Amino acid sequence: MGDDHTITRRLALAGIGAALVPACKREWLPPEADPTSRSQIKPYVPGAEDYATYEERWFASSCAQCAAACGIRVRVVEGRAVRIEGNPANPLNRGGIGARGMSGLQALYDPDRIAGPLLRIGGRLVPISWDDALSTLAKALADVRGRAPEQLLVISGRERGFTHELLARLARAFGTPNFVDGSPGHTAPLAHAMEQAVGVREAPAYGWSHASAIFSLEAGLLEDSCRSIYFARVAAAMRRDSARRARLIHAGPVFDLAAYNADRWLQLRPGTSGALALGVCHVLLREGTYDRGLVDRARGLTEFRALVVGFTPERTAELTGLPAAAIVELAHELWDRRPVLAVVDERSLAFSNAVETAGAAIALSALLGAIENGDGGLRLAPEPPLAPWPEIVIDEVARRALETPRLDGATRAPYGASRAVLDTLPAAILARPPSVALLYHANPVYARAQPRRWREALEAIPLVVSFSPYVDETVAEVADLVLPDHTYLERVEDATPAPGLPRAVAGIRRPVVAPLHDTRATADVIIELAHRLGKPIARAFSWPTARDAFEQRWLGLHAAARGTIVEASPRAFLERLYEAGFWADVDDASPRAVEFTFSPTWAPPHWDGEPARFPLALLPYRPLGYAEGSGANQPWLRSLRSRPGLADWTVAASIAPHDAPPGIKDGDLLRVISPYGALVLPAHLDRRMASGCVAIPTGGGHTAFGRWARNVGVNVMELLSATPASDTGASLLCTTRVRVEAA
């Protein structure tokens, strides 16, 4: 009995051993099938075959995730982009890069990207070929041109860049005046104020080499601004690397990152930073401590003095909520620390008094001797010497059509100083719908004030074309034809930065990977369309491809024979340009002589909504990582906390505890009601919040834009009054009053 059992046991063990031997011998399984390997098997990607396995290459290019256009280096392994880092050689960012820059990988590899052209048939978007898509559009455009060219509406969501310029060129050659720069809210008021002051219509650059203070006038310096990377670098360098440690003084209503980083935070009422600037000017003029050189030669000084005399510290204290003594102290400190960077940006100018505030800030810089001063302050943004494209010759059809009044009412009263006005468009479109609309880098059915109006308006247009690479709200709900663009890591393009460094920099973008999908660069699509439309439009687009068009501009840099790339032959120059990722002047621009004009105006911010029914001021803000508002499909950006104390992946209403309805605790749901809509979202009780305000970040409440954009908060744009700034027609974020209730 016992022997039998022993034999059985031994056989059993041998059997188990034998069964295990083949298993343990690790037969070859294709790695994809081997569940234990976790060897990061990556699906085939176009272009991988040009690489040896595991081969690594680096490419220099420029970021396109915000208008700063920082220089980047991209690590590509086997045809896949796996890392984006800052380019240490690029003077804009010197190797630093922000969260948004690195999230470019998620923009490229978004799993919900549009894979090819789409046409709306029977209510659904259906894939079609490029040839069919372009024929459809060319036919529609030819038809419009035959009837009434002004019936083409083009909305471009960029402010600068060759693709944006090609769209403008198309609009002009075609003969439509309705080319709408879709982001006038960004720099139009500041550019206008600069034009009034120094005659150059462009936002200023900032020199800082010997400045020992940054005075932020409600600027979203380290968050919202497209110069946030630049300022992070500059502020850090000014603190540690200069002989006299610089101070950051931030005046603003909310405890945001600028307030957190400031050496001194002056909490003032929203929209009153212009008054503060004028109050400081008052003290400087009264005490005779101001830079005489520029000021005594300036125009409008008498009127300016007349305005400023009323901004006594006491009156300024009433307007801003700051103590009068603090204002005097501030004036002394700024004078003592000159030159000073007095900064206003998109957040400072989100109020109806945008131009007045900008004017006051620039005037303050003038008094402090910080205009075109080599040691620091506002500088005229130098432009790289790009060659121009050939002039367009427009035919009679275009000439006549270009004279028709613009749909958006720009350049005419009351928006006399505007180039484009977005907020008037929905009503204008409904009144006289254009036949075709081209939307480039624009998602108005989400991102503009009162998105529902935009949906209605765009639905009235028979053919709405979007170039978006993603299914955003505009594509999902109203677009009839989608011609998806490459992402910026797949295309050749320029990267002209928003003004920041007082040095000319011309960045470029180049493909770092083969296109992942059947997409095409919008610039190439525009040129192809122009060719299909035939003369006379095609004559304005005589280049075979966009790359040829761009290289024609870049050869201006070659001809200038200066800067970081100097080569004898154009071919060699372009090769080195692609390799370097940018061209720049070697030094900061030398200061130029300027004639300064003071503009003596002031207005308090205007708020839409009766104060009795809507007692609180709504302060929507673009949170950290949201720059222009896109990026909802990039989960790394969702991991950023919008403000100190806020959680990630949420949209909350920040409010002072005494302004919240009784019984509301942190995290409880709040209903925020404006004259235009209502939203429910969690409350964030912030004891540092200014009285009488509610702050809500943009970027939440997406109903499209892919899997990562869902489930995150509400869209504050639904609450906003769509009242543009007078004069410049800029879109403004902070013009609406609300009330709050427990939800």
Give residues 703-742 in contact with other proteins (rule: CB under 8 A).
Answer: 707-712
Closest CB 491 distance from other proteins, rounded Å: 18
Q: Does 644 bind other proteins (CB under 8 A)?
A: yes
Closest CB 615 distance from other proteins, rounded Å: 26
Distance of alpha carbon 502 from alpha carbon 490, whole angstroms: 30
- Exposed / middle / buried, residue 4 (Cβ in 10 Å: 0-12, 13-18, 19+): exposed
Reading across the β-sheet that carries 582-584, which strands appear in turn? 493-495, 505-509, 582-584
Structure tokens at 373: 């001063």
Closest CB 235 distance from other proteins, rounded Å: 7
Instruction: Annotate each residue in 246-275 with x if it binds other proteins (CB under 8 A) or - if it does not, as one string.
Output: -x-------x-x--xx-x-x----------
Among 211, 219, 364, 640, binds other proteins (CB under 8 A): 640
Backbone angles phi, psi at 84, to 5 degrees: -120, 125
Spatial neighbors of 95 by CB under 8 A, at least 6 apart, are: 85, 86, 87, 88
Q: Is 397 left (phi over 0), alpha (psi -120 to 50) or beta?
A: alpha
Closest CB 620 distance from other proteins, rounded Å: 21
Q: Does 590 bind other proteins (CB under 8 A)?
A: no
Among 6, 129, 302, 639, binds other proteins (CB under 8 A): 639
Closest CB 216 distance from other proteins, rounded Å: 12
Among 635, 656, 691, 723, binds other proteins (CB under 8 A): 635
Residue closer to other proteins (CB basis): 12 or 126: 12
Give residues 492-511 in contact with other proteins (rule: CB under 8 A).
Answer: none
Q: Does 645 bind other proteins (CB under 8 A)?
A: yes
Q: Is the Cβ–Cβ distance between 340 and 373 less than 8 Å? A: no
Give residues 84-103 in contact with other proteins (rule: CB under 8 A).
Answer: 84-86, 93, 95-99, 101-103
Q: Is the Cβ–Cβ distance between 602 and 619 less than 8 Å? A: no
Closest CB 498 distance from other proteins, rounded Å: 16
Closest CB 310 distance from other proteins, rounded Å: 33
Spatial neighbors of 605 by CB under 8 A, at least 6 apart, are: 270, 271, 272, 351, 352, 353, 734, 735
What is the identity of the amino acid at 624?
Answer: L
Give residues 111-140 in contact with other proteins (rule: CB under 8 A).
Answer: 111, 113
Q: Does 302 bind other proteins (CB under 8 A)?
A: no
Number of helices followed by number of strands (H, E) in the chain: 23, 25
Q: 163-188 burial by CB neighbour count: b if 16+ within 10 A, else e? A: bbbbbebbbbbbbbbbbbbbbbbbbb
Closest CB 50 distance from other proteins, rounded Å: 6
Stretch that binds other proteins, among 186-194, 382-390, 540-548, 630-638 (CB under 8 A): 630-638
Residue closer to other proteins (CB basis): 551 or 686: 686
Residue closer to other proteins (CB basis): 10 or 292: 10
Among 89, 106, 332, 675, binds other proteins (CB under 8 A): 106
Give residues 362-391 in contact with other proteins (rule: CB under 8 A).
Answer: none
Closest CB 569 distance from other proteins, rounded Å: 26
Distance of alpha carbon 673 from alpha carbon 717, whole angstroms: 12
Distance of alpha carbon 501 from alpha carbon 381, whole angstroms: 8
Distances (CA, A) of 710 to 34, 655, 661, 701: 33, 25, 29, 7
Q: Is the Cβ–Cβ distance between 468 and 485 less than 8 Å? A: yes
Closest CB 388 distance from other proteins, rounded Å: 34
Residue closer to other proteins (CB basis): 167 or 640: 640
Give residues 206-225 in contact with other proteins (rule: CB under 8 A).
Answer: 222-223
Q: Does 657 bind other proteins (CB under 8 A)?
A: no
Give residues 669-708 in contact with other proteins (rule: CB under 8 A).
Answer: 707-708
Stretch that binds other proteins, among 289-297, 336-344, 631-639, 715-723 (CB under 8 A): 631-639
Distance of alpha carbon 642 from alpha carbon 654, whole angstroms: 11
The SS3 assignment for 465 reads strand
Instruction: Annotate each residue in 511-530 with x if it binds other proteins (CB under 8 A) or - if it does not, as one string.
Output: -----x--------------
Give residues 28-67 in contact with other proteins (rule: CB under 8 A).
Answer: 28-31, 36-45, 48-56
Residue closer to other proteins (CB basis): 84 or 198: 84
Spatial neighbors of 737 by CB under 8 A, at least 6 apart, are: 607, 608, 609, 610, 611, 614, 615, 616, 617, 618, 674, 675
Rounded-to-10 torsion of CA 235, 237, 238, 243: 170
Q: Does 19 bind other proteins (CB under 8 A)?
A: yes
Distance of alpha carbon 310 from alpha carbon 492, whole angstroms: 54
Residue closer to other proteins (CB basis): 321 or 729: 321
DSSP per-residue string spanning 157-168: --SSSHHHHHHH
Distances (CA, A) of 176 to 2, 260, 436: 102, 48, 11
Closest CB 251 distance from other proteins, rounded Å: 16
Closest CB 61 distance from other proteins, rounded Å: 16
Spatial neighbors of 15 by CB under 8 A, at least 6 apart, are: none
Residue closer to other proteins (CB basis): 101 or 382: 101
Among 26, 124, 535, 665, binds other proteins (CB under 8 A): 26
653-655 and 693-697: which strand pairing? antiparallel
Closest CB 700 distance from other proteins, rounded Å: 11
Residue closer to other proteins (CB basis): 229 or 425: 229
Residue closer to other proteins (CB basis): 591 or 645: 645
Give residues 67-86 in contact with other proteins (rule: CB under 8 A).
Answer: 77, 80-86
Closest CB 76 distance from other proteins, rounded Å: 10
Q: Is the Cβ–Cβ distance between 605 and 270 less than 8 Å? A: yes
| # residues contacting other proteins (CB under 8 A) | 106
Backbone angles phi, psi at 443, to 5 degrees: -135, 65
Q: Does 586 bind other proteins (CB under 8 A)?
A: no
What helix, strand, coil percent values describe the chain, rounded to 5?
Answer: 35, 15, 50
Can you name the residues that pair with 371 across neighbouring β-strands?
378
Residue closer to other proteins (CB basis): 20 or 431: 20
Closest CB 482 distance from other proteins, rounded Å: 18
Q: Does 569 bind other proteins (CB under 8 A)?
A: no
Q: Does 647 bind other proteins (CB under 8 A)?
A: yes
Residue closer to other proteins (CB basis): 222 or 594: 222
Structure tokens at 609: 């909504």
Closest CB 273 distance from other proteins, rounded Å: 20
Distance of alpha carbon 279 from alpha carbon 716, whole angstroms: 33
Residue closer to other proteins (CB basis): 394 or 652: 652
Distance of alpha carbon 701 from alpha carbon 712, whole angstroms: 6
Give residues 142-201 in contact with other proteins (rule: CB under 8 A).
Answer: none
Q: Which of 515, 495, 514 is nearest to 505 (CA)?
A: 495
Closest CB 181 distance from other proteins, rounded Å: 28
